[in-house]
Amino acid sequence: MNRILLLLSVTVMVLTFSCGQPEAADLVILNGKILTIDSSNPLCEAVAVKEGKISATGKTNKIRKFINPGETRVIDASGRLVIPGFNDAHLHFGPLDPDYIELRYTTDPAVITEKVKARVAGSKPGEIIRGGHWDHEMFTTREWPSKELIDKVSPDNPVILSRADGHSVLVNSYVLRKSGITKNTPDPFGGEIQKDPVTGEPTGILKETAMGLAKTGEVKQELTDEEIAQKTWQGYLLAMKHARELGVTSVQNAGSADFEAYEKLQEAGELTCRIDIGRTLTADPDILRSYRELEEKYPDEGNWIRFGFLKAFIDGTMGSGTALMHEPYDDEPGTSGLAMWKYDEFEEMVLAADKMGFQIAVHAIGDKGNTWVLDAFEKATEVNGMRDSRHRDEHAQTLTPSDIPRFARLGVIPSMQPTHCITDKRFCEKRIGTERSAGAYAWRSLLDAGAVLAFGTDYQVEPLNPMEGLYAAVTRKDRKGEEGDGWFPEQKLSMEEAIKYYTWGSAYAQFMEDRKGMLKPGYLADMVIVDRDLLTIPENEIMQTKVDYTIVDGKVVYESGK
């Protein structure tokens, strides 16, 4: 009888454990301040992960039940903030070049001369020298640089240095000669060869489509195919490292990229962020059919490498004075900016791609450029019918009041980059005046009108660090932390809103809001643990905030202590 009772007791214990004990998690985070972005459960303390997805959220005592020693990795957040992984909705992602001359935040043009000189010293004659991210509005003189800045130190090498916005370049006389660009060379459509107002000679600045005129006559480095492949591979690894150290777990590439390269990274276990890759907008039916084949190979249902949107440019940038405006620039009344397409040609491309069901994204900075984009998207609904296209206005920088409600009405995503606001605000009013500047980066107005924002950085135009974007969204102040309430403070967001549109909003823009961008059971386990409470710290500490852990697909891909 005792043996029977013992057997029954053991059986009851086994059944109780098997029925009541949750399945062991692969990863558990305890004792955190978890901002879920899930309105039904905004904050919790702990989260459990199983097979790459969130399996449970709740109090620490509840989530402890998912721990099986030896099977479950446990991270004690110790009160730190946990948020969904950052999803950069617009950037230019790819392998990094260790030889690239970094000129971001340069204030003294003489620094450009010295850096080019140093790079030339380590190069062979004829080898191209590349660099960029300079911004003449940050120079103490606020004047455009010219070829004289670099000619003396680079007589035998082609030099091409991109402006921060990527819409203008500074080249040396070597490049001008190889390109056949002289004082008599006419501006191409949609571009400008900047010329000295006195002599008429090219200054070395090429804007927009004029950049395509640059020929380098480059003498290629004598590298084997294997050495080139290895250098490119290392460049991809550097890019992945940079992203995960900043908590970026998803990227949406604003343009073409190499699908096979990212497949190789995934096969090697080196793909540590999810990526969407698109192609260039066109009306050519054969090319659109080839895009459809790519879309079938990298479908929306995927979670890692997906076909993204079709990208076009309608205008230039405010910094280069090429953004397409309804009225002339205040500081340059002879121009209203540059259109990259004739409107009829642009509309034709939108109608053709929309008819085939593609998502379309168009770079638009000036108020007229944005009007054209919305006009074309609206025409597509009239001709092809209304659908959940989630077409995207990339940047949506300067808007007329009448255009703001059209975003929600047409279901168009304002895909915006907060750091552009605190970069461009330094010269925006000089360019277009206060009244038109009031429509710049109108985040609050767009939200109030019912639009869904998607945030990104436009990296490498701006730094990839999401903390700079969060700072910009909640302060609208320069990076030095100026006094006052910020630039047009009525457009500021709360920190929770800024995080939401950098995570869930970006996921919505790529049709993934059903499984990404929130910390909710069933969602992909992409998370970031930061070293400061972004929800409560003073604004001057936001950009000092660092990532302690980056978790992608339930796996820790970065730890600050290692």
> pLDDT of 467-503, one tens digit each?
999 999 999 999 988 999 999 999 999 999 999 999 9
pLDDT of residue 7: 42
Per domain, the residue ranges of the chain are 2-79, 101-213
Q: Cα dist. 293→193, 206, 259, 282, 352 in Å?
A: 39, 36, 13, 15, 16
Average pLDDT for 370-377: 98
Q: Which SS3 state, helix, strand or coil, does residue 3 take? A: helix
CATH topology match: 2-79 vs 101-213: no
Give the DSSP H/E element, type plus range, for residue 416.
strand 413-416
Identify the pLDDT of residue 348: 98
Average pLDDT over residues 402-418: 98
Average pLDDT over residues 38-42: 96
Q: Give strand ranges (E) for 150-247.
A: 159-163, 168-171, 191-195, 202-208
**CATH topology for 2-79?**
Urease, subunit C; domain 1 (2.30.40)
Give pLDDT, residue 220: 63
Whether the CB-CB separation of 538 and 544 falls below 8 Å is answered with no
Indicate the pLDDT class of residue 165, thresholds 50, 70 and 90: confident
- pLDDT band at residue 557, thresholds of 50, 70 and 90? very high
Residue with tokens 């276990």: 269
**In the structure, what pLDDT confidence band is assigned to residue 164 with cuts at 50, 70 and 90?**
confident
**What pLDDT score does 20 carry?**
57
Instruction: Give the model confidence (pLDDT) of 507-538 as tens digits.
Output: 999 999 999 999 999 999 999 999 999 999 99
CATH topology for 101-213 is Diaminopimelate Epimerase; Chain A, domain 1 (3.10.310)
Q: Which residue, among 133, 134, 88, has the nearest Cα to 509 in the 3D structure?
A: 88
> Which single residue is written with the structure tokens 């796996």?
555
Q: Are 32 and 528 in contact (CB under 8 A)?
A: no
Read off the pLDDT band of 13 (50, 70, 90). very low
Q: Give the pLDDT of residue 221.
A: 63
Note the pLDDT of residue 3. 46
Q: Contact at 8 Å (CB) between 331 and 430?
A: yes
**How much is the average pLDDT of 194-210?**
96
The answer, yes or no, to whether residue 4 has pLDDT greater than 90, is no
Tokens of 12: 């009851």
Q: Which of 488, 490, 448, 492 is nearest to 470 (CA)?
A: 492
CA 43-44-49 angle, 5° bins: 120
Angle between the N-to-C axes of helices 225-245 and 259-267, in degrees from 0 to 180, rounded to the nearest 10 = 70
Query: Is pLDDT at 16 greater than 50 in this prediction?
Result: no
First to last CA, the chain: 59
* 469: three-class secondary structure by DSSP: helix
Classify the C-alpha dihedral 316-322-326-329 as positive or negative. positive
- The stretch 360-388 carries a mean pLDDT of 98
If one counts every other C-beta atom within 10 angstroms of the C-beta of residue 75, the result is: 22
pLDDT in tens, 222-231: 678 888 899 8
**Placement of tokens 């935040």 in the chain:** 105
C-alpha separations of 100 from 44, 131, 211, 213, 388 in Å? 44, 5, 18, 21, 41
**pLDDT (tens digit per residue) in 139-162:** 999 899 999 999 999 999 999 999
State pTM to two decimals.
0.86
Over range 256-278, report the average pLDDT: 97
Give the model's confidence band at 562: pLDDT under 50 very low, under 70 low, under 90 confident, else very high: low
Distance CA 46, CA 29 (A): 5
Average pLDDT, the chain: 94
Specify the 3-state DSSP secondary structure of 112: helix
